[in-house]
Amino acid sequence: MKGVPQPTLQRLVVYYRYLKKLAEMDEEKVVCSKKMGEDVGTSSAQVRKDLSYFGEFGCKGVGYEISTLMRCLERILGVNKRWKVVLVGAGNLGRALVNYQGFNRLGIEIVEAFDNDLDKIGNRVGALAVKNDKEMEIIIRKNNIKLAILAVPGEDAQQVARRLVAAGIRAIWNFAPEMLRLPADIHVYDENLAISLVTLIYKLNQDISSDSVKYIG
């Protein structure tokens, strides 16, 4: 149950969503790794290998029972439970995340939103009212919240992150373009939108450069 590669974990989420869709369509009871792989864009060997980190879920010569595997993945990933989450930073991105559908389906519930901007405090964001971030620590402690979404400006990120950890937060989904320096046992996922975008621009730019080489040479 330890040493699961990060790529495997990410594919597991994809498998889970795929199985959920299959289950909704309700056409087949069983799916094999070959079909799964083709449908989600990987190989059958990869699918079997990924699952093998967690146990045996299939039936040789037959495949995987869709509903069973789905529920197993649900438990493995932890999305069978409900998770309370706080948002810090009620800017454009933060507001979009609160309103984003699809988190609910994964058992995520954003229960509070905080900001330090007096103009934002009190505003509605989805079903929430933005609260003063001074209340942050108390509310996080009282509700025993472990997961936070950090969507504050880069220059505030480190300081806010430390406050979150001091208040009992154990995992941070970080949208600020800053390296957070936190205790090693705090889980951080850096969601760096600029990185994603620039890798696309790089490839686009490569194409164009090699095109012009064609014209010259």
Question: Nearer Cβ to DNA, position 68 or 158?
Answer: 68
Closest separation in Å from C-beta 28 to DNA: 11
Interaction between residue 5 and its own copies (CB under 8 A): no
Pattern 19-48, binding to its own copies, x per CB under 8 A? Answer: --------------------xxx-------
CA angle 130, 116, 192 (to 5 degrees): 90
Burial of 49 (0-12, 13-18, 19+ CB in 10 A): middle
- Give the CA count within 13 Å in the CB-facing half-sphere of 79: 18
Judged by CB under 8 A, the residue of 17, 34, 48, 49 near its own copies is: 17
Q: How many CB atoms lie within 10 A of CB 38?
A: 12
What residue spans of 41-186 are helical by DSSP H?
44-52, 66-77, 92-99, 136-143, 154-166
User: Considering only residues 127-156, where is the footprint of its own copies by CB under 8 A?
Assistant: 146-147
Size of the site for its own copies (CB under 8 A): 56
CB of residue 198 to its own copies, shortest distance in Å = 5
Contact region with its own copies (CB under 8 A), list: 23-31, 114-122, 135-143, 197-205: 197-205
Query: Could you say whether residue 118 binds its own copies (CB under 8 A)?
Result: no
- The three-state secondary structure class of 145 is coil
Q: Please name the residues in contact with 71: beta carbons below 8 A apart, sequence gap of 6 or more.
A: 80
Query: Looking at beta carbons only, is 6 or 144 nearer to DNA?
Result: 6
Q: How far is the CB of 201 from DNA (least distance, A)?
A: 19
Q: Which of 23, 30, 79, 139 binds its own copies (CB under 8 A)?
A: 79
Rounded distance between C-alpha atoms, residue 182 and residue 162, angstroms: 7
- Spell 114-153 as b/e; 16+ CB within 10 A means b: bbbeeebbeeebeebebbebeebeeebeeeebebbbbbbe
Query: In the complex, which residues of this chain contact its own copies (CB under 8 A)?
Result: 1, 6, 9-10, 13-14, 16-17, 39-41, 76-79, 81, 83, 92-93, 95-97, 99-100, 102-103, 106-108, 146-147, 170-171, 173, 177, 179, 185, 187, 189, 191-207
